[in-house]
Amino acid sequence: MNLDQYSPIERKVLGKYFSDDEPSVSKHDLSPVDTSLICPSADREMAEVVLAIRTDIHERFEFLEELPRVPLMLHVQEHNGRPHPTMRFAARCVNAACSHWSISSCRLGWSVSSVSIAVDRSEDSCPIREKCRWFVENGISACQVCPWLGI
């Protein structure tokens, strides 16, 4: 996979995502999957709310305090038939129906949390943190990189 088109942080995440370094899971590690968790990187097709908007000032995503429902955002300008690249969407996690799912957890969330950058995001207010699939499975390390991902 050619990662040249991605930002340095996205290349680190994708490099981990497509590597064989994923932690192994035994059948004893499997637990019931929480179906009430939220995906912080939903596709437009499954999106329920707008989670964040990319700002030119900080060159990262800023989380919204109130999450507008996607149908209310349909008037937002689209770019080449796709949602404007400055928006991040969230939706209920679909677990095994998602291509990022791996046995009993989100492989993308694991990849994001394994990227190390020197930024403390622990005090940032994320409107979905307590129900975020990535945070619940990987802790605050997933939050360190999340605002910079344009996934």
Q: Which residues contact 139 (CB under 8 A, 6 or more apart)?
A: 113
pLDDT of residue 94: 92
Q: Quick one: how far is CA 29 from the chain centroid?
A: 23
| pTM (2 d.p.) | 0.68
Query: Residues in the chain with pLDDT < 70?
Result: 1-35, 58, 71-85, 118-124, 151
Q: What is the pLDDT of residue 22?
A: 42
d(CA 8, CA 38): 26
What's residue 93's pLDDT?
94
Are residues 111 and 16 in contact, defined by beta-carbon separation less than 8 angstroms? Answer: yes
Report the pLDDT value the prediction gives residue 135, as an integer from 0 to 100.
94
Predicted local confidence at residue 128, as pLDDT: 92
What was the pLDDT predicted at 50? 86
